[in-house]
Structures are given as structure tokens and as C-alpha cells.
Structure 1
Amino acid sequence: MTLDPVEYAILSQSVIAAAREMGAKLIRSAYSTILREARDGSAALLDADGGTVAQAELIPMQLGSIGRIFQPCAALYPKETLEEGDFLVINDPYSGGQHLQDVFFFHPIFFEGEVIGFAASVAHHLDLGGGSPGLNAGARDLYAEGLIIPPMKVNIHRDWHGGGFQRLLRANVRVPAQTMGDFDAQIAANNIGVLRIQELAARYGRAKVTATMAALQDYSERRMRAAIAEVPDGTYHGEAFLDDDGLGSGPLPVRAAVTIAGDSITVDFTGTAPQVGTNINAPFASVISASVSCLKAALTSPDIPFNDGSLRPITVTAPKGTLLNPNHPAPVRARMLSCSRAWNAVMQAVSQAAPEKVIAQGYDTTTAFCLSWLGPAGWSVYLEVYGGGYGAGIGNDGCDAVDNPLSNCSNTPVEAMDQDFSFFRVTDYTLRTDSGGVGARRGGTGFSRSYEILTEGALVSYYSDRFTGHSSGIFGGGPGASGKCEVLRDGQVISLTSKAAFNLLKGDVVTISLGGGGGYGAPAERPAALIQRDLEDGVISKELAEAWGK
């Protein structure tokens, strides 16, 4: 169908707006702090074949490959077999998903008896069972990480609202009020997407809506190919390292060869470390998201919709049995750590071809930090995802105290924690002076947060990275500071490793400190006025300011 340009503009922006409304509905309907405050969830609209058309600007990692995550569901349950009330569910990393805590819901959009698209949402769920509340840092296989949901079809009338599937989920989670409330938020978000597309089809006709979905993906593909074509052809190499596997083996390399040929790109992760026995392995769907997100961020402008059209010019490969494509049943909960190093390796490779388009490494580490306690009323589980300092760019300093580019979560306000959790309190929350890398443009500053434990029997579990390593500067910029986690107990400091679980006592103070981003360009090129501003803002010390000024 040939679309009128005005109608196409109206319809395409309406579809994008609908996806954004779904994202807002998801967050505002959520029960847990990880979704309600940290915004660790996403929403999207797919066409009838599962191609991503539009998505809310939430978590790139969750949505960059959502069309591929949908395909195993469609293979078992073709759209022609679906009925009103059906929806599809998956979280299994080895059936196309990412990690178990990210559960994907796909609701078919019916119009005049036919499926014309799907409304999709995903949320990171606070607890899905497994060997430890919220986060099992010691998992040695997938089964220890939580409830595995293979691609399956659920009916809202039969299986939810007290039905079998809902009761199964409720029986396997430690905090059913928050977890089941967040599942309901996903359903509410998807219902909004279904309604908005049905309204557009009723007003403009099904043919124009489906044609717009296809045209929007084609538009993103054209813009993506045009951006790639501006970069010189060739094969460029990058690498980054994880500290260790949590068992003492490391550092672990992630290597990328980025080949640009005309208007297409191939990313090959041959040379990456073999899979390990701990949870830092990354399922392949996550690796696709990391690679495409990095390339889109570096080479294109923000106004290009991030949909399946953006993926068409890009091919990603990773050898089976490696960190970035493990064999079943390797645990994958901390897959963001390896994917962040994939991002770093691809960005380093791109810097050789298009140096003006890249940024320095940020702390680029998803620190999933969990405090849990079994009280008289049941489990209380607090989970937050931390970032650190962002990498500096050619025309800007790195942002201070933000999440990494793949995760994009918000910091949870202290007031929200005080409202929901009685077994700890936050006693300090501050930027880390001198943690950003020096350079013509300064790396973003990391931060720290301290928690005083108010009861006996609490547990801290977390995974992180760059406790021994650090973010690298670029083009002469300096590195950011490393991270750390410490427990203050009776005046003694207990230093923990980057991946740990530790039993806490009443009165303990746990401090998690996140590193800074790398600097961009030679430090001598930074104007004195900016160094003075940094000093006044408290992000650098007097000693560093004096040394930098010289």
C-alpha cells in the first residue's frame, strides 16, 4: 500500500506514542521498587510477524532483541492459533530469552478477528524463586537461579485471576505481593498497547496500520544503513576484560572484530573467554542487544526509532561455549557484566573507524545489589541496580552517578526505601570525589551508598565488576576509579569481593561504592575554568585540582 505522507506521519508517531504510553503504564502500575522506582522494565509494539516496530525509551538491553525473543513463542503458537484472551510468556535464556528475572509477555492485537500485531512488555522481577531471595550469587546452573518458563501460551480468563499459571508463579516466589503486582502491571501495559492499535485500525483501517508498521521499520533500516555507509570500510578490533569469574579465575577477555562493508556491519566475538561456572555468562539474545545498542548509539542519531529495521544491517556471531553464547545449563543472571564488556569492545573497535563518534568507557558495570531478611510476616527483599560514572565524549564530560548505557535504570530514592523496608536504613549517599578519569573532558563520577542493618539475620548478595580493573580513558584520557564493597562491623572493615553473598549482623553498615568513567582527551587540554568548577562542585579534590592545573 502507498501511504499518504501526512497519514504516515500521524500513524507512525501514534504507534511510537502508544509504545511510550505502555512504558509509562508499566512503571506507574508497578509494586516493587526495582520496577516502580528503578524502572527496570520495558514495553514495545510488534507487527504480526513479531518484528519490533516501536518501543518505550527504558532498557535497551531488554528490548534490542525482543523480536528474536518472540520467535520461539511464535514457532510453538502461530498467530493463527491464538484466541481472544491468549498471551505468550517466556523467560528461558536457552529458548530465546535473556535471564530468568526478565519475564516477557506478548499479547496479540486482534482486529476484525485477525492478529495485526503484538503488545509486549518485560519486567525484572524482584524474586522468582531459586536458591536465595532476590539474587543467588552462588548459583552454579540455571536451575538454581529461579523458575524457568519455556515459551508457553496462557489465557487471561483460564490461567490468571486465580487460575493455574498465576497460582504456580505465586507459589514459587518469596514476595508475592510485589512480584504478582508487577506481573499485573505488565498485563496493564500490554492492554494499553492493544487498545491504542485497535483504535488506530478502527479509524484509519487495518491495511494502513500494518503498512505503517512495515514502513517504520524500513525507515529505521534506511537511516541505519546510511549512517554505516559514512564509516570507512574495514575490520576493526576491540577488547575489554572482566575482573574474574567470582571463583578466582581471571581476568576474562571479551574480544570483538567489527567489519564494516558498505552499509552493513558484522560483529564477531571470536577470541572471547570460554563460559564459566558462575552467573556472568550471557545468552546470545543479550549479546545481540548489546552489540546493536552500541552501534546505534555511536553511529546514528537519537531520532531513529530503535526497531527491527535497525537490526537488519547488523550480523552478530559468538562461538558456542563462550561467555557470550554459553551451553545449557550455565547460569546467566549476571549477563549484563559480560554484555557491558561486549559494548566496551565494540565501542573500542568503532573508535578506530570513527573516533569523533565514540565515548570513553564508563564504569559500565551493572551492580545488582540485594538485601533480604526473613521476618515474622515473611520475606522482605530489596533489590537495586547501580551504575557509576559515565564515559566522557568529544564534547562533553561523562554524567555523574548514572546507570550504564545498556541498563538505564534510575537510582531508587531513599524515601522509597524507608517506606518499603524496615530492616535497614540508608545512612550515606554521596558522590565519590576524584573517581572520574581526568581528561580534556572529565569522566563521570561514581557514588557510594551505605546501609545500616537494623535486625539480625539479614543477607547481602550482589554481583559487580571492576573492583580490581577500571574503566579506560580514550585518546589520552585517564581511567576511572575502581569499585568496592565493605562491611563495617564493630569498628573493623571487612572487604568483600566483586561477586559475593555475606550474612549480616544487626549494627553492620554495608557500603557499596561504584567506580567512575574514563576521561576523553589529554588532561592538559581541559580549561582551568572547568577544573575550578569541578572543585567547587566537590567532584575533585583540592589536591587533584592543583595537580591537574599544573
Structure 2
Amino acid sequence: MNTSKVSGALDPVTLIVIEKGLAQVCNEMDLVHEKTSFSPVISEAFDRSNGIYGAKDGRLIAQGATGLPIFVGVMQETTRCVLEECPNLGQDDIIIVNDPYRGGTHLMDVKMVRPFFYKGRLWCYLSNAGHWPDTGGMVPGGFSSTATEIHQEGLRIPPVRIVRDGVMNDEMVKLILANIRIPDERIGDIKAQIAALQKGAERLTALLDRYGVEVVDVAIEELERRAEQMMRAHIRAIPDGVYRSTAYMDSDGVVNEPLEVHAEVTVSGDQVTVDLSKSSKPCTGPMNSVWASTVSSVYLGFKHVFPDVPINAGCFAPIEVKKPHGTFLYAEYPRPVAGCAAEVSQRVMESIFLALAQAIPHKLFGAAAGTSGNLNLSGVDPENGREYVMYYFSGGGYGGWWSGDGITNGCSTIGICKSQPVEIMEQRFPIRFEHYNLREDSGGAGKHRGGFGVNYRIRLLRGTAKVSFLMDHGKFGPPGILGGEPGATNQIVISQDGKEFTPEHISKADDIALRAGDWIEVSTPGGGGYGTPSERSDADIASDRRNGYFNEGQRR
């Protein structure tokens, strides 16, 4: 297509209108996905994402403003995999896939990909992802901390048609529902993802009808060029050099030894190269990370540091990530990967932050809580005889930064999800939240202290249940920078028959039996501090104590 004539006529107003129009298509997909899902983790917590991806190579064109950021890079890889393995899709076909080794994350993140045709031509792909609270496996909810192979973690779905010629593939749906728990919820989530893709096709058609394919094509090229230009300008402002850091994970859930994420960030002009090849070897337990999750984590780390760069493929063009073969950050079949997107990804990002803090501390911050706090409770409610699987995650503190204290009870660094409302959880499951409060003294001390984590306790009201959790930062608190102290570590206490204990791996355990009256209490990490504690002003210290954030004799 000759775009020069169109490009010359593409005024700034039209460009920004098309940019916002593409984003609005994705936002409406997100909204449909959210409002029609059955699972609270999607309908209430927004653990999902929808986007538009290139027809030739799956490159990101646009993503919804409220979509989970970790899926920015992941769904590029998912879409590329579908392009390679399903080359002859019709305009009314939809692919379902959750295979971690085919552009995925953990098995609970189920993706759907639909080719979008405009006037008979394949123009792009519409893709989405939603976290299903269960996909089978040996631990309800999928977050097994002791799995040693992928087959123990749940149902693995390669790219297959779930919709063919506009008709749902009932045989495929039956196969999926027969292998997972709570099938009446999952069918609702399946239909919600399909409906979101349909809405995207409708709204995108309207956009192209209004502005024309040539104009929109040129706008996308220009938006990508500008995003790349902005990212390169930011990188150019970083002093050339090689910056190294190490971030630590508690354990892999099976072998009680730390895992190390070694980042080597090389800045040269307007290009940056990230090498993670000196990280720990592949691990026995489920804290391995597949390539799609690892590379997306690096992209997202830079996006946190430079949030003004628009999200599209151009944003990532100046960032080269070397594939870390032979490490736990490049998982291959049949390595277990349940913790990759929710936990390992955040430690990869932490390593990027720590490396860049050496070069541009005025743009960085102490580490955030760095864990999603994945907790699953499952059983049969004796009141109605129904089986249930409850998935819950929680917030923690963000790090102090150059201009102030860190955010308290912020979401995980991979997402913009919110914790599911206590009232909704108590209505749906036989539990009671006995308290949910600020965790005092959890923010790392510094000139600007870290934000605070939270404490919550869940008591089982009736019947029996099993609780499993896969978290992190239980041994190593989120580090501070420029002399700032680390935030408090993750702490978990369980009460069985009145006896309290902490699991061996601290932040990870499977299938702990609970009876009515038993409880689990979680205290999430605070953020790391920024600058030395001695630099903190007397006014800020007095304010913290006045608000009850710290007590006399405790660290500031």
C-alpha cells in the first residue's frame, strides 16, 4: 500500500482520535469480559486483559487501559504461536490455548485468539486472557507449590478451535469442563471471553468503517514509531554502562533454597540489552518461568520506570532481551511453572529496578512487595452441598521514591487488579474475614519510607477445607535503595485445632487441612525505603507516629 499520500493528510487530531479509538475498542472488550464472567477474580478483581495484535507477526497494536500489564508482552507471544500453528483460520473461528510453552504463563491464564477480517482481508488478531480459578491438577486452584512437572498442575491446552465458523465446539468444551473443578463457573468464563472478542470485532469494524483502513494503518505505524522514539529518548538519558543486580526468591517450594535472578543491563546509546543468563538453574518446583513471561516482565519493568511511553510494539523495540537458556527463567517442557507469572515475574522486574537504580536513582524507587499473595481455599460447603474453589490475592507496600513515601496496599507490580471485596467472598464461600487492616511497621525505613502491607485473617466457618498458597518475599524483604532499608517479609500463620504454626517454606505450602474454626492469617510485605533513614524529616517521623504507623522503639 502506498501510504505517503495518506501520511501527509494524517493530522495530529486524527492521529490521537484513532489512538484513543483503538484503546476504546480494547476497553469495551475488557468491560464485557469483566461484566459477564462468573469468577470473582475476573468480575471483581479484573484479572484479565484484551488487546489488538498485528496480522503478520502478532505485534501489539493496543491494549485496554485496565488490562493486566503482564499480558502486554505475553499475548504477543501467544498470538505469534497461534499464527504459526493455526495458519488457516476463518473469520468466525476462535482459538483457545493455555500451554505455557506456547506463549503462555501458568495454566490458569487461559487465552483466546480470534482473527479479525475487514472486507474479506485479515487485518489483525483480537486476543484476550482471563485467570480461571481452577484448571484441574493435583491442587485446587492450580497454585501447587510442590508440583515437579507440568502435568501435576492442571489441564494443558494447545492451540485448538473452541469456536468454528461461529459455532461453539461443544465437544472441546465438554473435554475441558470434564477435567476441571466447578465446571458451571468455567462455562461462564468461557462464554465471557468469547463475548469480549465479539464486541471487539463489532467496535473495530465501526472504527474502520469511519476512518478507512489506509488511514488507520498509517496511524498505527506512526503511533508505533513515536512510542519507539520516546523509549529511545529515555534510554539515551541513562549513562552508558553495564549495571548488574541480584534479586532473590525464597525457594521453589520443593527445595528449600533461594533462587537468584541475576540481571545484567547494558545501556549503549538509545539501545538496552538485558542478560539474565547467570540466574539460577532450572528448579525442581513450580517457580520456573517460561520465555513469554520472562520477556514480558522485562518489558513491564521498563514501562514502570518510563510510564509516559504509550503501550504498543514500538515501546519494546529498543529493548533486547537475551534468551536465558539453561536457567529457571527459560522453562521447557515438562518443568512446572505455576509461579511464573504471579511471582517470578515480579522478581525479574525487581532485578531490573535494582540495576537501573545504580544509573538513574532519581527515576527509581525501593522495591515493592513483589508477591501476588496467591491463596486457594477449597472444599464442599455443607450448607448447600456445593464444591468450591476460592482464589484470593492481596496487596502490599510499594517502595519509597525520590519525592515521597511508597503506596500502601498497592496491587502487585505485574497488574492493576484489586483485591476481591471481603463481602463478596463471604457471600460465596463458608468463610469470615476476621480482620483486614494496615500492617504497622512493615514499610522499609528511609528518607522516604516504603508503603505498608496488610494483615488479614480468614476463618473457616463450616465443613472442612484445604488451603494452599504460593507467595514470596517470606525470607527476603523487598530491598531499599540509596541506603533505604528493606520492607517487612511476608508472614503466614495457620491455626489448626488451636495450635498455630508457620510452614517450612514460609511463603509456600499445599493442601493444609482446615476444620470449622481453623484460620489462616497473612501479613503481606511492605515496600523498601528510599535514602538513608537518618535523612527522614522530623515532621515525617512525627506524622507516622501520630497516625499509628510505627510505635516507640520500632524502626522508623
CA distance in 2, matches of 1:165, 1:219: 43
Partner residue of 1:306?
A: 311
Q: Say which SS state the counterpart of residue 53 (structure 1) adopts.
A: strand
What do the CA deviations read for 1:100-146 (whole angstroms, capped 9, x no partner)? Answer: 11111112222111111122110111111111211333321111111
CA distance in 1 between partners of 2:40 and 2:284 (Å)? 30
Once the two structures are superposed, what CA deviation does each residue of 1:152-181 show, in whole Å capped at 9, x if it has no partner? 233255762x71122222222211222221
Asked if 1 retains the 8 angstrom alpha-carbon contact of 2:496 and 2:514, the reply is no
Is structure 2 residue 176 aligned with structure 1 residue 169? yes
Distance 1:482 1:85, change over 3 A: same
Which whole-Å deviations, capped at 9, do the CAs of 1:522-543 have from their partners, x for residues lacking one?
2222222222222233322243
Equivalent residue letter for 2:509:
A
1:429 Cα deviation after fit: 0.7
Q: Which amino acid aligns with 2:366?
A: A
Partner of 1:327: 332
Counterpart CA distance in 1 for 2:24 and 2:233 is 25
Contact 1:47/1:213 (8 A) holds in 2:
no
Equivalent residue, structure 1, for 2:359? 353
The equivalent of 1:44 in structure 2 is 51
User: Does structure 2 conserve the Cα–Cα contact (< 8 Å) formed by 1:398 and 1:444?
Assistant: yes
> Which residue is 1:75 aligned to?
84
Cα deviation digits, residues 193-229 of structure 1 (max 9, x gap): 2111110111121222222222222221111111111
- SS class of match (1:119): strand
Task: Return the match for 1:411 from 394, 415, 419.
Answer: 419
Match of 1:275 in 2: 282
User: Which residue is 1:386 aligned to?
Assistant: 394
TM-score, structure 2 normalization: 0.93
Which has the larger displacement, 525-534 or 463-472?
Answer: 525-534
Partner of 1:247: 254
Aligned to 1:374: 380
Letter in 1 for 2:195: A
The one-letter code matched in structure 2 to 1:334 is: G
One of 120, 123, 128 as aligned partner of 1:116? 123
**Correspondence for 2:64:** 56
User: CA RMSD for the aligned pairs?
Assistant: 1.7
4+ residue runs over 3 A deviation:
156-159, 375-378
User: Does 2:533 align with 1:523?
Assistant: yes
Q: Secondary structure in 1 aligned to 2:224?
A: helix
Which secondary structure state, in structure 2, belongs to the residue aligned with residue 363 of structure 1? coil
Of 382, 407, 412, the residue aligned with 1:399 is 407
Check conservation: 2:91, 2:165, Cα contact below 8 A: no
Please tell me whether residue 31 in structure 1 is matched to residue 44 in structure 2: no
Question: C-alpha separation between the residues in 2 aligned to 1:88 and 1:227?
Answer: 38
> Percent identity at matched positions?
33
Structure 2 unpaired stretches of 5+: none
Unaligned 5+ runs, structure 1: none
Query: 1:215-261: per-residue Cα shift (whole Å, max 9, x none)?
Result: 22222111111111111111110111111222343222110100111
Mapped partners of 1:301, 1:158: distance in 2: 39
Cα distance in 2, alignment partners of residues 536 and 177 from structure 1 = 50
Residue 94 of structure 1 and its aligned partner are, at CA, apart by 1.1
TM-score normalised per structure 1: 0.94
Task: Give how far 1:269 is off.
Answer: 0.4
Contact 1:258 1:268 in 2 (8 A): yes
For 1:18, the equivalent position in structure 2 comes to: 25
Task: Give me the whole-angstrom Cα distance separating, in 1, the residues matched to 2:351 and 2:405.
Answer: 21
Contact 1:433 1:540 in 2 (8 A): yes
Counterpart pick for 1:448 among 444, 447, 455: 455
Note the C-alpha offset of 1:388: 1.3
**Which digits, 9 at most, give the CA deviation of each residue in 1:334-361, with x for residues without a partner?**
1132222211111111111211111111
- Number of aligned residue pairs: 540
SS in 2 for 1:265: strand
1:543 correspondence with 2:553: yes
Partner SS state of residue 17, structure 2: helix
CA contact (8 A) 1:324 1:339 kept: no
